[in-house]
Amino acid sequence: MSIETGPPGDMLAAHPETAYFWGRVAGDGDCREACVTVRTSDETAARRLGSIAGAELTDQRIVERPYAHDTSITRQEEQYTVQVVGPLAERASGALGLPFEGEAGGYRLDPLADYDRQLLRGLVEGCGTVCFKSGDGDSSEAVGLSFVHESEGLLRTVQSLLDDIPVAAPYGELSETSSGYWFGIEDNAVPAVGEWCYEGSESSGLFAPSRRRKLRQSIERVR
């Protein structure tokens, strides 16, 4: 059983917990006056994110969400919203370059770089899309991992993080999509990147079980 994390002494200091939390916020959250919001479709992840930030307000509802690469297609899923009320949002915007009140962010995530694994894990779960690609003709089965977000700046930051991890993570060019921008890691590199990303996650509890399970099962199918 994974351990439950507690709130760090300073939410802007470099810790595994804060790196994961702010990766999730950057990927699927926002900072507005007196409120940090982060969204997840995984109830366990919602509890962990709330525990990290000492948040008490968690909302659960069924929402219509567009598919990442085609917003004309939607699906229904449970969504949990964790909100941290107070001055943290403005502080995070200044320290980490996160967008504030809808303005573009600079995404200065370097203060969390010592915990790149947890930071990227949060980003994978916040704005990453995993898919299993069936073999067709001469092509073999593969796992796809792409990042989709409305901010081009965030995705370029993700690319910079991938450049520095200890496993090869080649990726394609950034392209426009109906929901913003996207790029994908090359298929043959996804298994190693995925295994590195979730290494040690069981003992820390810093992961969304449903997202980790989907990625690991897809990797197992191509091995």
Residue 58, domain member (yes or no)? yes
| Strand-strand pairing, 175-177 and 180-185 | antiparallel
Domain that holds residue 155: 16-222
Structure tokens at 12: 């802007």
Which residue in this structure is represented by tokens 């040690």?
A: 200
Residue 7: its pLDDT value, please? Answer: 64
Q: Is residue 6 part of a domain?
A: no
pLDDT level of residue 179 (50, 70, 90 thresholds): confident
- pLDDT higher than threshold 50 for residue 92: yes
**Structural domains of the chain, count:** 1
Mean pLDDT of the region 61-83: 60
Q: How confident is the model at residue 66 (pLDDT cuts 50, 70, 90)?
A: low
pLDDT at 141: 87
Q: How far apart are CA 218 and CA 134, in angstroms?
A: 11
State the pLDDT at residue 73. Answer: 44
Mean pLDDT of 26-51: 93
Alpha-carbon gap, residue 29 to 38, rounded angstroms: 4
Spatial CB neighbours of 220, under 8 Å, sequence gap ≥ 6:
none
Minimum mean pLDDT range among 26-30, 72-76, 117-121, 135-139: 72-76
Q: Cα–Cα distance between 89 and 83 in angstroms, integer?
A: 10
114: left (phi over 0), alpha (psi -120 to 50) or beta: alpha
With respect to residue 3, please indicate whether it lies within any of the assigned structural domains. Answer: no
User: How many Cβ atoms sit within 10 Å of the Cβ of residue 114?
Assistant: 13
pLDDT computed for residue 55 by the predictor: 80
On whether residue 50 sits in a domain, the answer given is yes
Q: Please provide the distance, in angstroms rounded to a whole number, between the alpha carbons at the two ends of the chain.
A: 26
Whether residue 11 is contained in a domain is answered as no
Band (105; pLDDT cuts 50, 70, 90): confident
When pLDDT is cut at 50, 70 and 90, the band that residue 79 belongs to is: confident
The 10 Å Cβ neighbour count of residue 95 is 16
Q: State the average pLDDT for the chain.
A: 87
Poorest-confidence range of 68-72, 136-140, 158-162, 203-207? 68-72
Is 79 among the domain residues?
yes
Identify whether the C-beta of residue 91 lies closer than 8 Å to the C-beta of residue 12: yes
CATH number at residue 89: 3.10.28.10
**Mean pLDDT of the region 152-162:** 97
Q: How far apart are CA 27 and CA 126, in angstroms?
A: 4
E runs forming strands in the chain: 29-32, 35-40, 57-67, 70-85, 128-133, 142-149, 175-177, 180-185
Model confidence band, residue 25 (pLDDT cutoffs 50, 70, 90) = very high
With a threshold of 0.75, does the pTM exceed it? yes
Residue 7, domain member (yes or no): no
Q: Residues near 106 by Cβ (< 8 Å), separated by ≥ 6?
A: 97, 153
Phi, psi of 154 (to 5 degrees): -65, -45
Please report whether residue 9 resides in a domain. Answer: no
